[in-house]
């Protein structure tokens, strides 16, 4: 049975070019970057090449790129580290209404340390309510955290406009952007976003799992969460994952080269999906875009009848891999807070299936996915 993988928002396949770049550092070039001999120096140089590749992708300075174990650690370092570093200026933290659990739970942890946490809301179109954000900012707001691309339904949030509001209404606050789902789908530039920090994760854009980065604007420094050998300017101690970092850098370089092509392909796949879904009676492609629109690589489909998890397992039996919400939310169980924030009731929130594309996803795969949806619809109607 051929496999159709439509869960690329959960993780993407490793690009061949990335695998090739990593291979030497999984074999003979295994030196520790902190060692002073030639093998260590070679590893350290490879890490710095990757730092430059990530810096170019995000428009940052070299010193602003801090390598982490992935997006979760990067977001934790930003939310916890930046708030703690600015605690003398205030103790109010403002987060987006659809944040990933690693941001949401980090902010909740701050609340146990005496910080006050409030949450923005969505507008009627599913975009970020900027006037509500303006009203919630305070003189003691020290951190605002808002994702760039929603990981469940693809909404692109107006970060540049939010940044201007934050600077005008709470000039002592820093703006952190979770860009984990944005890299490879939209432009991610510190300067253009007006952000003080950006988190990214390699495996979301054809790099390896276990490698990510927190990218910081000049002069912005969080308190570290991990202490020890003073690697990564003392912000993230621990021997560097050289192969993973090299893979992250190469993946970032490929994104920079191929973004325009990828965006065009994503738009084509989404249009094909929207057209073909007409064959699935009662199915609806959600488009909560607001003023900035939707990243077409992430598609949420509201399905009729039983919960989406039932559809997911029937599809898997036919070789089609999809997801119900984000991978982290699925592991936790329960109803997605992001879907509830969108205005869906609990029953309908459970009926949303996510299909997400990679650069290489073909028209034939989209067609095969919808063919499988049609077959599952017939099975469910027949009670089989």
Place of tokens 């799992």: 209
Indicate the DSSP class of residue 37: S
CA dist 80 to 74, 115, 169, 183, Å? 10, 11, 22, 23
Give the span between the Cα atoms of 4 and 319, in whole angstroms.
6
CA dist 230 to 34, 51, 91, 240, Å? 10, 17, 28, 11
Place of tokens 């709470």: 170
374 is catalytic: no
Q: Locate 63 and state its tokens.
A: 């010193």
- Which helix H or strand E contains 68, and what residues bound it? strand 65-68
Q: Locate 101 and state its tokens.
A: 């659990």
CA dist 181 to 151, 152, 153, 203, Å? 6, 9, 11, 10
130 in helix, strand or coil? helix
State the DSSP string of 40-63.
HHHHHHHHHHHHHHHHHHHT--GG
The CB density around residue 125, as the number of other CB atoms within 10 Å, is: 13
Distance of CA 198 to the CA centre of its chain: 10
Terminal Cα-to-Cα distance of the chain (whole angstroms): 20
The values of phi and psi at residue 93, to 5°, are -125, 135
- Is residue 195 within 8 Å of residue 158, measured between CB atoms? no
Among left, alpha and beta (phi > 0; psi -120 to 50; other), residue 138 is: beta
Give the span between the Cα atoms of 14 and 11, in whole angstroms.
9
Residues annotated as part of the active site: 328
């Amino acid at each position: 049975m051929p496999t159709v993988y439509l869960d690329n928002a959960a993780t993407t396949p490793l690009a061949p070019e990335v695998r090739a770049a990593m291979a030497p550092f999984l074999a003979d070039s295994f030196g520790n970057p902190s060692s002073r001999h030639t093998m260590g120096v070679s590893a350290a140089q490879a890490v710095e090449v990757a730092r430059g590749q990530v810096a170019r992708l995000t428009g940052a300075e070299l010193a602003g790129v801090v390598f982490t174990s992935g997006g979760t650690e990067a977001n934790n370092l930003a939310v916890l580290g930046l708030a703690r570093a600015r605690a003398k200026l205030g103790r109010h933290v403002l987060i987006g209404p659809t944040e990933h659990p690693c941001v949401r739970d980090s902010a909740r942890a701050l609340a146990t340390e005496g910080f006050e946490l409030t949450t923005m809301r969505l507008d009627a179109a599913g975009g970020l309510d900027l006037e509500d954000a303006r009203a919630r900012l305070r003189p003691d707001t020290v951190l605002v955290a808002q994702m760039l691309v929603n990981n469940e339904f693809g909404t692109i949030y107006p970060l540049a406009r939010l940044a201007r509001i934050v600077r005008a209404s709470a000039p002592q606050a820093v703006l952190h952007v979770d860009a984990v789902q944005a890299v490879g789908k939209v432009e991610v530039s510190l300067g253009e976003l007006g952000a003080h920090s950006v988190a990214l994760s390699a495996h979301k854009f054809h790099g390896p799992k276990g490698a990510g980065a927190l990218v910081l604007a000049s002069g912005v420094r969080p308190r570290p969460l991990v202490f020890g050998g003073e690697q990564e300017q003392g912000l993230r101690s621990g021997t560097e994952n050289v192969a993973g970092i090299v893979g992250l850098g190469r993946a970032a370089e490929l994104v920079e080269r191929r973004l325009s092509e990828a965006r065009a392909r994503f738009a084509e796949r989404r249009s094909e999906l929207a057209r073909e879904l007409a064959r699935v009676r009662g199915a609806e492609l959600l488009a909560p875009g607001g003023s900035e629109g939707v990243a077409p690589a992430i598609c949420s489909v509201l399905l009729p009848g039983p919960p989406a998890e039932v559809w997911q397992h029937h599809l898997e039996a036919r070789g089609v891999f999809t997801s119900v919400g984000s991978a982290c939310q699925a592991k936790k169980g329960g109803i997605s807070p992001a879907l509830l924030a969108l205005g869906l009731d609990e029953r309908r929130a459970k009926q949303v299936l996510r299909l997400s594309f990679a650069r290489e996803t073909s028209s034939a795969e989209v067609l095969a996915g919808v063919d499988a949806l049609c077959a599952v619809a017939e099975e469910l109607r027949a009670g089989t």
